[in-house]
Amino acid sequence: MITRFRETVPDVPEALLQWNEDLAGDLDLAVIDAYEDLRHQLETSGIDAFDEVDMSRPAATWRKALERSREMPLLPMFRPLILPDARWSSLVSPWYSELGEDDLVDLLDSCHVDAFRRPGLRWLGRAELRTMLQLWLSPKLMVDTEGWRDLLAKALSDVQTSRAVRYVALRRKLALGDLPDGGAN
């Protein structure tokens, strides 16, 4: 079904800009075609298949679905967990597919706020941020770093920063289609 949707709407923001009821009809047909593909596959495997599907949704329902799908790569469900607000604002806007590990560390460093604030001293530095990021993006690299256990233990003691780093890692993986199930591609 995902393949059928991607064929019908290869670019969600563009589809929303060019929205019309014909596109809603095309999305209805994509669902019908996907069910037909499944029915054919079941019959080929000797499994009793369902009757033909007649799928139709109101155009407004399809438009709302596209609007929600446009927001999903931003992972808005993390919004209440990424504090302070300025950090969320900094982390939500970059194009993660264009950022390398050093860029991601720069991004995290630029919006970092220590949980354990002390005048003149910073609790977490770039080394801890990088180690936390590598935990999610490249654990093999992380364990090759000298002192990684101490860096990681210190880094994970800051819950807000840990959440921010996990968000950045998820956005990066989503942008690259690097998900366990083959996800975004």
Predicted model pTM: 0.60
pLDDT of residue 181: 55
Residues in the chain: 185
Q: Which pairs count as long-range contacts for 60-69, CB under 8 Å and 24+ apart, including other chains?
A: 62/23, 62/24, 62/27, 62/28, 63/16, 63/19, 63/24, 66/9, 66/12, 66/15, 66/16, 66/19, 67/16, 69/12
**What is the Cβ-side half-sphere exposure of residue 110, based on CA atoms within 13 angstroms?**
11
What does the angle CA 75 – CA 80 – CA 84 come to, to the nearest 5 degrees?
110
d(CA 94, CA 126): 19
Per-residue pLDDT of the chain (185 residues; tens, 9 = 90+): 677 877 888 877 788 889 999 999 999 999 888 888 888 888 899 988 877 777 788 999 989 888 877 666 667 778 777 878 888 888 988 888 889 999 999 999 998 876 656 665 667 889 999 999 999 999 999 999 999 999 999 999 888 899 999 999 998 988 887 766 544 43
pLDDT of residue 117: 60
